[in-house]
Amino acid sequence: MNAESSLRRHLALSISVSILSVALATVARAQEAPPPTTEDQKDRLAPFVPTPQNVVEAMLKLANVDQYDRVYDLGSGDGRIVITAAQKFKAEAVGVELDDDLYKQSTARIAELGLEKRAKILHANMYHVSLRMATVVTLYLLTSVNERLKPILERDLRPGARVVTHDFQIPGWTPEKSEIVMSESGSSHTLYLYVRPQ
């Protein structure tokens, strides 16, 4: 009887833990990507300007991205950084895009390439997305936008997390490394690598 009672308690505990895990995962996903509101649309900060593909790869190489990383690209546009991180660097990659058309286009491209297990786009305002799971964040945003993001990065990113910005620095942070990359069209692009302190 004692053995049977113990087994029942063990099974009940296992089921409770499983239910709790699912609930926590659901909550985490909900917190990760609250749907954009009409008010969020006011945060459209700039027209989409795609990063040249060789610059995309240089950004990910500068951050030493590998299969163990979770890369977040804020303002992910057509998804090229997310797709490259997942496809070429084998990382888990998440894009955050507010624009409806770009969100649909990049999500469709990920599905077309069969990358859904490693890549996804959140249709959300980047200021409302948790970055706690990120090991790498990529930004091609104006300096003023980077400054607005800075307290979120400081709050969410763990020690050792890397941030790579394209052309625009993060005010008040000192880059560990910078690199100039020439695009295939001959334009110059400056990349900055920041590492959150231990």
Residues 142 and 128: their CA atoms lie apart, in Å, by: 18
User: What angle do the packed helices 80-87 and 100-112 form, to 10 degrees?
Assistant: 20
The per-residue pLDDT for range 152-183, each reduced to its tens digit, is 999 999 999 999 999 999 999 999 999 999 99
Handedness of CA 41, 47, 52, 56 (dihedral sign): negative
Q: From start to end of 1-154, where are the E strands?
A: 70-74, 92-97, 119-123, 136-139
> What share of the chain has pLDDT > 90, as a percent?
74
The per-residue pLDDT for range 18-55, each reduced to its tens digit, is 433 333 343 344 346 666 555 545 555 567 889 999 99
DSSP string, 45-85: -S---PPPHHHHHHHHHHTT--TT-EEEEES-TTSHHHHHH
Residue 56 pLDDT more than 50? Answer: yes
DSSP symbol at 38: T
| Better pLDDT: 14 or 4 | 4
> What share of the chain has pLDDT > 70, as a percent?
77
The CA radius of gyration of the chain, in Å to the nearest whole number, is 20
The per-residue pLDDT for range 77-128, each reduced to its tens digit, is 999 999 999 999 999 999 999 999 999 999 999 999 999 999 999 999 999 9
The per-residue pLDDT for range 57-68, each reduced to its tens digit, is 999 999 999 999
Entry pTM: 0.80
Token pair 């624009």: residue: 99
Q: Residue 17: its pLDDT value, please?
A: 33
